[in-house]
Structure 1
Amino acid sequence: MELTALALVVLGVVLAEPVSRGLARADWPDRDPVGALLVWQAVGLSGGISLFGAGLAYGLAPLGDSLPEATGAAVSDLARGRYPEGLGALHLIALLVALVVLVRLLTVLGVTTVRTLRTRRRHRDLLDVLATPWPNAPGTRVLDHPVPVAYCLPGRSSRLVVSAGVLEALDTAGVRAVLAHERAHLRERHDLVVLPFVAWGATAPFVRGMVCAQIAVAKLIEMRADDVAGCRCDPAELVTALKAVGGSVPAAALSSFTAALEHRIDRISSPPPPLPLPVRLSIRIGAAVLILAPLTALLV
């Protein structure tokens, strides 16, 4: 299984760096945000499986020609109180590295999830005290603040929030356009899509490809929410709403956020043609193949 381990290392590194950077710079995701999100998830999952599996494959290589066979042999030897024959120092180091990679990924993901849930719970409790229901849209709460702000808190007890500044800046149709965008985030659980990439970025912030992935996925979920909202309301109303609400950011983040916002507004005003159906199907099949490739290499 040494060649399998080498191939998996190469695949993991290629996915983490050149593929991630190239995908982040590509133009086609604007024409198929859902497909691009599936590809990003496949890249992340396949890369993680490859790097973890490479350590397992090399570490257990002396015990069998496939991972199931080698794992069975190792378990059998250990159950009999015997040290698996053929495992040298390098093999043990490879197994240890694989374990460290897995524990690191799961730990960061777990810590990120707990912190996020805790922050949302505190924010939700504050909203229940400080915000008031908006009668024109059930489930929406109004925060008494002059700056136009709209957002959602996902989860089992989700919240849709608009500030008083939004109600002053927009008419009812504009507010509904903003809420349609936020409801798309809630309905499709975009928070769960983003969370693994936030964790992966925190796991290895020195890997530029992982940082690119986090930024690209954040942009794609906004595009997807724009597309859903554009189907439920007048796109012109959505553009007006984004201009009023989207520009309310701290000065330090103004330049980068404004660039992303202008791109989204241009995309809503002049929608790019969707990718042909065969291409969209190929993207989804390719994402599935990308996940199955390292699994097949390990199990067969």
Structure 2
Amino acid sequence: MELTALGLLVLGLLLAEPLSRALASARWPARDPVGALLVWQAVGLAGGLSLLGAGVVYGLSPFGQSLIPAVGGLFRSIREGRLLDDLGAGNLVALVATVLLGTRLCAVLGTVTVRTLRARARHRDLLDVLATPWPAVPGTRVLDHPIPVAYCLPGRSSRLVVSAGVLERLAPDGVRAVLAHERAHLTERHDLVVLPFVAWGATAPFVRGMVCAQLAVAALIEMRADDVAATRSTQLELAGALRTVGGSAPAAALSSFTSAVDARIARISAPPPPPSTAFRVLVRLAAVALVAVPTALLLHP
């Protein structure tokens, strides 16, 4: 099991650093944002399985030649009161470190989730007081403010929010493009896509690869929402709407996740060539393989 633990550790470190950096700087995700998001999800899951699994496998190695029998051996050792005798110092340190890392990750994820839900609830209450429902677009609120602002508030009681400045400065087609972009965020629950990467980044902010992952995922969900909006409006309308809303103030972009407005406008105005079917299939198979490898290493007899 020591070799399995070493393999998982190496895989986890590769996914957390060089591979994450390489994927964040790659150009192909702009052609296939959905596939790239699947790969990023696989990278996060495989990285977590590998790093945590390496500690568990090495820590339990005195109890068996594979993980499942070793778990049974651990419980037998506990029942017979021989746990500290059976475990070496290195195995104990590995188990304790794994438990601490897993606990911290879960605690950070829970804290971020609770904090986000509370902030959304407060924001929703403020919107109900300060914003006016827009009968023409159910679920949309209008803020009486001259600066063009558009954003979405996800959750069970989701909201689409536009300011009066959006309605004044954009033609109806531009407003529809803005709403289509924000509605894509709500429909595909992009807030849930980015949340695990926020937790990983907060757990280990000193690991640059995790920070790159968070930024890359944020950019990809913008690309995906832009692509959805582009199917409901022309490129000129969408680019103009983004230029108006995203260029008015740092906080008034079509989304709160990225400020790369110029890059998004360039991509909308000159869309990259779509990937071939073979490439799309290969990307999705790669995502499955990323998760399958550490899972197989953990469960192999």
Give the TM-score category using the shorter length: over 0.9
Counterpart of 1:275?
A: 275
Name the counterpart of 1:197.
197
Q: Does residue 89 of structure 1 match 2:101?
A: no
Instruction: State whether structure 2 residue 1 is matched by structure 1 residue 6.
Output: no
After TM superposition, the structure 1 stretch with the greater mean CA deviation from structure 2, 31-40 or 226-235, is 226-235
Matching of residues 139-150 of structure 1 within 5 Å: 139-150=139-150
Given residue 99 of structure 2, which amino acid in structure 1 is its aligned partner?
L
Report Cα offsets for 1:181-212 as digits up to 9, x if no partner.
Answer: 00000000000001111111111111000000
Letter in 2 for 1:139: G
Code of the aligned partner of 2:266: D
| Offset at residue 85 of structure 1 (A) | 5.5
What is the percent sequence identity of the aligned residues? 67
Distance in 1 separating the partners of 2:65 and 2:276: 42
In structure 1, what residue type is equivalent to 2:143?
Answer: L
User: Deviations 1:213-245 (Å, cap 9, x if unpaired)?
Assistant: 000000000000000010122221111110010
Equivalent residue, structure 1, for 2:290: 290
Q: CA deviation digits over 1:89-124, x for unaligned, max 9?
A: 111100001101100111100000000000000000
Residue number in structure 1 paired with 2:240? 240
Aligned residue identity for 2:165: G
**Which string of whole-angstrom CA distances, capped at 9 and with x for unpartnered residues, describes residues 16-51 of structure 1?**
110010011000000000010011111111111101
Task: Judge conservation of contact 1:74–1:84 (CA < 8 Å) in 2.
Answer: no
Q: Deviations over 1:32-73 (max 9, x none)?
A: 000100111111111111010000111111111111010011
How large is the Cα RMSD of the aligned pairs? 1.6
SS for the counterpart of 1:148 is: coil
Give the TM-score normalised by structure 1. Answer: 0.95
Aligned to 2:162: 162
Superposition pairs of residues 81-230 of structure 1, within 5 angstroms: 81-83=81-83, 86-230=86-230
Deviation at 1:274, TM superposition (A): 1.1
Provide the rounded CA distance (Å) in 2 between the counterparts of 1:148 and 1:233. 19
Q: Can you give the 5+ residue segments of structure 1 that lack an aligned partner in the other structure?
A: none
Q: Give every structure 1 segment of 4 or more consecutive aligned residues whose post-TM-superposition deviation is greater than 4 Å.
A: none
Q: 2:258 & 2:123 partners in 1: Cα distance?
A: 23
Instruction: Give the number of aligned pairs.
Output: 296
Range with bigger deviation, 178-187 or 131-140 = 131-140
Aligned mates of 2:100, 2:249 — CA distance in 1: 39
Q: How far, CA to CA, are the matches of 1:152 and 1:250 in structure 2?
A: 16
**CA-to-partner distance for each residue in 1:234-272, whole Å, 9 max, x for gaps?**
221111110010113349x9xx966x2111111111111
Q: Which one-letter code corresponds to 2:6 in the other structure?
A: L
Counterpart position of 2:53: 53
Any conservation in 1 of the 2:219–2:258 contact (CA below 8 Å)? no
Q: Is the 8 A contact 1:20 1:209 kept in 2?
A: yes
Q: Structure 1's 8 and 295: CA in aligned 2 closer, same or farther, altered over 3 A?
A: same
Is 2:174–2:240's contact at 8 Å kept on the other side of the alignment?
yes
More deviation, 269-278/113-122: 269-278
What CA distance in whole angstroms lies between the structure 2 residues aligned with 1:204 and 1:41? 17
The Cα offsets for residues 147-201 of structure 1, whole Å up to 9 and x where unpaired, read as 1000000000000000011111101111111000000000000000011111111
Separation of aligned partners in 1, 2:209 and 2:258: 20
Contact 1:63 1:85 in 2 (8 A): no
CA distance in 1, matches of 2:263, 2:276: 22
Report if the CA contact (8 A) 2:218-2:258 is conserved: no
For residue 129 of structure 1, what is the amino acid of its counterpart? Answer: V
CA positional deviation for 1:84:
6.7
Deviation at 1:139, TM superposition (A): 1.4
Q: Relative to 1, partners in 2 of residues 1:36 and 1:282: Cα closer, same or farther, differing over 3 Å?
A: same
